[in-house]
Amino acid sequence: MRIVPDTSVIVDGRITRIVQEEDYKGCEVIVSEAVVSELENQANKGRDSGYNGLEELKNLQKLHGEGKIHLSYVGRRPTLEEISLARGGEIDAMIRDTAGENKATLITSDKVQREVAEAQGLNAVYLKPEMLDYGDIQVTKYFDKNTMSVHLKENVVPMAKKGKPGNIKLVKIRSKPLTRGQIEYMSREIVERAKSDFKSFIEIEREGATVVQFREYRISIAKPPFSDGMEITIVRPVAKVSMDSYRLPNKLVDRLTTSAKGILIAGPPGAGKTTFAQASAEFYQNLGAIVKTMESPRDLQVGDEITQYAPLEKDMSKTADILLLVRPDYTIYDELRKTKDFRIFADMRLAGVGMIGVVHATRPIDAIQRIIGRVEMGMIPSIVDTTIYIDEGRVAAIYDIKLTVKVPSGMLEADLSRPVIEIRDFETGDLVHEIYTYGEQTIVMDVGQTQIKKTPIQKMAEREIIKEVKKIVPGRVEVDMKSDRRATVWVDEDSIPKLIGKRGKTIDELEGKVGFSIGVESLNAKNKERKSQKNRSDIPELLPVKYTPVDVELAGNYVILNFGKDVVGTPFDILVDEDYLFTATVGKKGTIKIKKDIELAEIILNAQRSNLAIEARIRNE
């Protein structure tokens, strides 16, 4: 008996088993050179399917050497053009030609290949994909009920994250490091099983990287040149919980049930966002709603009633086009990262689909800030009406987002009324943040910090005055807004005449430009006053302002200002060439992060390139 296996049955590793069955015992296996070329091409691109197929050919060669089968390779190698057209059927056509020329039976697990072969009058056997038991897959042995993820790399002791959100520890799960051969074997096994399991998918397969969704396990395989060594990372949800487990306030449950249609689930990595998204999907499905998901990769653990969609033709916007025709009541978008993701989310929401997006954010407000600049600011409340912040597996904050027209907090003039996005604590109704435009800038104001000595408009006015004064006189400049219409400026004593100008012309022009009344005083006299105050026992000591150089680095999409962990939580004013730029608080990693695509980051990077001083001073307010 002669058989010609095509690429599909060689890659899934079943041909060696079939040829040893009674019906095929002693058969002649004819392999088309087109199959070898295709497998070689895939292996050269770093794809596991290519390596798996070549391994199967080696197993066939071994059976040939033992005399159990007769193996031969026939035909010509396809050209580069034919290989590039493999998806169009060129390689499959060459394999069918091999079967026809040798009067052999074609063995395939590709339905289309079988149909075309029979249409051409060839004998073809179709092998249905098998539903295999995956319990004994090698990487699963590293998991127990408390394991969230397993991290395997060649020449490194296997590690695992164990626990639950809020209490996770990285522990060693084996005493000896894994070899490259062991990692490669597990990699091939994962890919082979994923292709033969109806509940598993190969989500991404590129040179040096493969992502597999194997049942509840999301598996990332990396190899050189993409990574510096063979590596496998396996992640799975620790627990599947219901919405009841979160003990949400009745007010929020009522909102989710009736009015919330644009929801962002936010939180840091590992906080439990995906678990809450799964609970949300089940919650809406149990209410009788049609729920779909958009995922890449598909790792939400939801019931069969909820269909999970991947990027159609590697493009999530095409998936959205299909979903707009399907018209689900709610769609879970896991997760929003790039500008395109936010725009797809916005388009679907504005088309009337209830949307629930998952977003990485270190603070509750960061989820909203990630939308700014990606969609029109005034559209944000129409796209997102509720933000749920997850931290350590619990709902830590709930925000209500609405658009109104008013004078922003801290501004006093009625003619400053403008559209303002109000972000309120959902449970208390307290105003937490405001988003509005001032000039060409979009301001995200923490209202909780506006009850300080200076209003936001006064702070911005101080920065503007410093900038304008620096254009006139050199040296250090200090400004203090005494009211909404009056400011005091301190400069070096020698610079006062130049700043005032002949008959006060320069200072008059400056006042007209900035719109404030300005008094000019000597910085030297101010410093002397500070020293005299320092010697008086009834006045608290005023320490001199300390300016510290800031170490700046570019990391990914962020400009990082490094301060050190000993000042975590301390607010600093950031200055460039002695000009005030902005105020920020040092994060828990001892850094201040600024997204590199905003103006502040560009100013800092330009200053670094021009060797201008980038300094920080402790905020005394």
DSSP 3-state assignment of 27? coil
251-270 average pLDDT score: 87
pLDDT at position 129 = 65
DSSP 3-state assignment of 364? helix
pLDDT tens digit sequence for 390-434 = 987 888 889 999 988 887 776 655 557 788 899 998 888 888 888
Would you say residue 38 has pLDDT above 80? yes
**pLDDT cut 90: percent of the chain above it:** 22
pLDDT at position 75 = 87
pLDDT tens digit sequence for 91-139 = 888 899 999 999 999 999 888 889 999 999 999 998 876 655 555 678 8
pLDDT at position 448 = 60
The total of other beta-carbon atoms located within 10 Å of residue 609's CB is 8
pLDDT at position 452 = 37
**pLDDT cut 70: percent of the chain above it:** 89
pLDDT tens digit sequence for 177-217 = 999 989 988 888 888 777 767 678 888 888 888 888 888 88
pLDDT at position 392 = 78
pLDDT at position 154 = 93
pLDDT at position 132 = 52
257-282 average pLDDT score: 88
pLDDT at position 88 = 63
pLDDT at position 449 = 45
Is residue 117 within 8 Å of residue 108, measured between CB atoms?
yes
pLDDT higher at 529 or 537: 529
SS (H, E, C) 548-577: EECEEEEECCEEEEECCHHHCCCEEEEEEC
pLDDT at position 487 = 81
Would you say residue 537 has pLDDT above 50? no
pLDDT tens digit sequence for 544-588 = 446 788 889 988 888 898 888 878 778 888 888 777 777 788 887
Is residue 50 within 8 Å of residue 36, measured between CB atoms?
no
First-to-final CA distance of the chain? 89
Would you say residue 166 has pLDDT above 70? no
pLDDT at position 531 = 54
Is residue 319 within 8 Å of residue 309, measured between CB atoms?
yes
Name the residue among 356, 370, 363 with its Cα closest to residue 390: 363
From residue 533, how far is each of 150, 528, 530, 539 by CA, in Å?
A: 62, 9, 5, 6
- Mean residue pLDDT of the chain comes to 83
Confidence of residue 44 (pLDDT cuts 50, 70, 90): confident
Would you say residue 451 has pLDDT above 60? no
Asked if omega into 297 is within 30° of 0 (cis), the reply is yes
pLDDT at position 240 = 67
Nearby residues of 275 by Cβ (< 8 Å), 6 or more positions away: 165, 237, 238, 239, 240, 241, 393
Is residue 129 within 8 Å of residue 144, measured between CB atoms?
no
Name the residue among 333, 233, 339 with its Cα closest to residue 557: 339
Q: Domains of the chain, with CATH numbers? A: 2-126 (3.40.50.1010), 138-235 (3.30.450.90), 243-449 (3.40.50.300), 456-534 (3.30.300.20), 548-618 (2.60.40)
